[in-house]
Structure 1
Amino acid sequence: MPGHNIAEALGYTLDDIQNNEDLIERLKVFIFRITDTAAVHIVTEVYLDDLSGSHGYTTQGRWWQLIVEDAVFTCNTRYRATAYGNEMFSYLFVYLPGTHTQDVPFTFFNGDGTPPNLPGTIVYSAVAVPMQRYFTCFAQKGDPNRSSDLPEWPRYGDDVALLTFGVDAITLMSPDPTANERCDYWQSGAWQN
């Protein structure tokens, strides 16, 4: 049951990148033994040099955050979802700010908001309780859909569908936003050459 949060790398990345050369140098530190050619390819071809916002970033810092999110977190959830013939149940945690591990207090919610809360995270039972019910059904029976009063959680499948957990609702999203050329690139391992 792979899942990821909407802004996994927020807080893990510095906003000190000023230009493409900084991005390339950061990639060379971030990815052990990456070649100059591969780093340039990532910055110019995989993640386009376009700060208009049409690709999800308007600054080099946010551009770097997206690269880290894809390389470390989000594209790996797609890889796991597809590795078993698209038979997985996948989710996206969209409760803002959606940082890495922010879903953990919801997963282990105990009903009164006491630990394991993360500092600054308010856990809403309307999100936490359905998450726990899905996860428990999956752990017990291999299928999160054993609780009849929750929305159907489809397998990832050919529709590359996932369930989103947000403050307002549990919704179906298709296609998965990680079903993209950037994640295909990371999954290919081409950056290792």
Structure 2
Amino acid sequence: METPLNVAVLVGSLRRASYTRKVVMALAGLAPPTLACHIVEIGDLPLYTEDLDSTPPAAWTRFRDEIRRADAVLIATPEYNRSVPGCLKNAIDVGSRPDYPSAWDGLPAAVVSVSPYKLGGFGANHHVRQSLVFLNMPVMQQPEAYIGDVATMFDAHDRISSPESRAFLERLIGSFADWATLTRRASAVP
């Protein structure tokens, strides 16, 4: 068996009991053996400012190193004010510096947006995608993952409450495994 792909998972909500984190934990639990998912924490990252580029904070260096070791990136985000939370945008910015090549360069990615409302974080999902395109990250197109009514997805023990939800998350993480593997192979061809 091949070594599993190292997947850096970013959770755009800092609340430990957030629905976004619950979705990430469910996805990691359903991941095929070709993926090794681990959360890269973003809550300790000082706000990005170019003034610190010459002497980056230790948290920036730790974060950039973790992203550089990754083979792929899975980003899960709630939607705040029809966009992404500031902590997630800050993490994207921190990883994008110094300029070229950034820690993100060429990493296959998928975006999952989570919301207690019907739209499923559509705006946040597309704002993240917009940044990733600029950062030269091939983003999985299908299945799209706008998870609405997320509060109904889990039971009182944080288990997936319906077979339909489980099937969707299995399809999503399986598709991401295929996407990331194919994208990595294609980028390795001379």
Which TM class, normalised by the smaller chain length? under 0.3
Q: Which structure has the bigger radius of gyration? A: 1
Q: Normalising to structure 1: TM-score of the pair?
A: 0.27
Q: Normalising to structure 2: TM-score of the pair?
A: 0.27
Q: Which has the higher contact order (CA 8 A, sep 6+)?
A: 1
More strand, by proportion: 2
